[in-house]
Every structure is written in C-alpha cells, then in structure tokens.
Homo-oligomer: A and B are copies of this chain.
Amino acid sequence: MRIGEVARRADVSVKTIRYYEHVGILPPATREPNGYRSYDSAVFDRLTFTRASQAVGLTLGEIREVIAFRERGEPPCAYVLDLIEDRGAALTVRIADLEALRTDLRDLATRGHALDPAACLPREICHVIKSPG
C-alpha cells in the first residue's frame, strides 16, 4: 500500500506520515523499486496508537519512547503508567494555576467595571491592570 492510501484510510496527511517516519514514530518504510514508500497493515496499529496517545496528552517524543520499549521486546505498560501519572500530576498543577488566573481575571473584570475610564491616567496606561505589588 502506498502512502496516499494509508493517509486516506487512517485520516492523516501524507505529510504527517513522512514526519512520523522522520521522528521515529514509524520505522523507515520499505520502498518499491521506484522509491515509493510501501506499507502493510501494521502501519495502522502504529497510527492508531499514536492518535490515542496524543489524545491523552503524550508528546510524539514520549510516544516514540513507548514504541522503543515495544521494539526492544519489553511491554511498555509500566513506563506508560509512569508517564500517565506524571502527566496527571503536571496537569493538576497546571489546572490550579489556570484557575488562580481565572480568579484574578474575574476580580479584575469586576473591579474594572467599577472604575471610571476618564479617571485613568496616561502614565499608568490603564488603571484596570495593576501590578501585584
């Protein structure tokens, strides 16, 4: 199967498939005598796994690591669980940060609506936004 057909059937772009090969998500494709890449159905397993992994927030670099385990013959499950737990912890921190920011924004909006634009001095640019200090 050629790259275009793989792309259509997996609903990814041809560019993406070449890129995945470039970054090691896909092994170097075998080639037809004319140089065209040739694939068998195993490519769909890779692409499906890659998509599912991206959906849970793994980067291509991490996905490549996971695949590397598998290629060394080791089940990557333990590594995957670590990754997932790290991602989860990082996500918790990030969500907390964003929630704090959202709170700030709401306070700012509330305060801002109570302020008079005519009382905003050029020197401070806009009195709605003040430095935390």
- Interface of A with B (CB < 8 Å)? 42, 45-46, 48-49, 51-53, 55-57, 66-67, 70, 75-78, 80-81, 84-85, 87-88, 91-92, 94-95, 98-99, 101-102, 104-106, 108-109, 112-113, 115, 117-118, 120, 122-132
Contacting residue for A76 out of B85, B94, B125, B130, CB 8 A: B125
Contact across chains for B131 and A106 when beta carbons are under 8 A apart: no
Contact across chains for A81 and B112 when beta carbons are under 8 A apart: yes
Contact across chains for A125 and B45 when beta carbons are under 8 A apart: yes
11 A-B contact pairs sorted by A residue (CB < 8 Å): A42-B123, A45-B123, A48-B131, A49-B125, A57-B105, A66-B125, A75-B117, A75-B120, A76-B126, A88-B105, A98-B98
Q: What 10 additional pairs, Cβ within 8 angstroms, besides A56-B129, A77-B120, A84-B109?
A: A45-B123, A51-B131, A52-B129, A52-B131, A57-B101, A77-B128, A84-B105, A87-B105, A91-B98, A92-B102
Contact across chains for B88 and A109 when beta carbons are under 8 A apart: yes
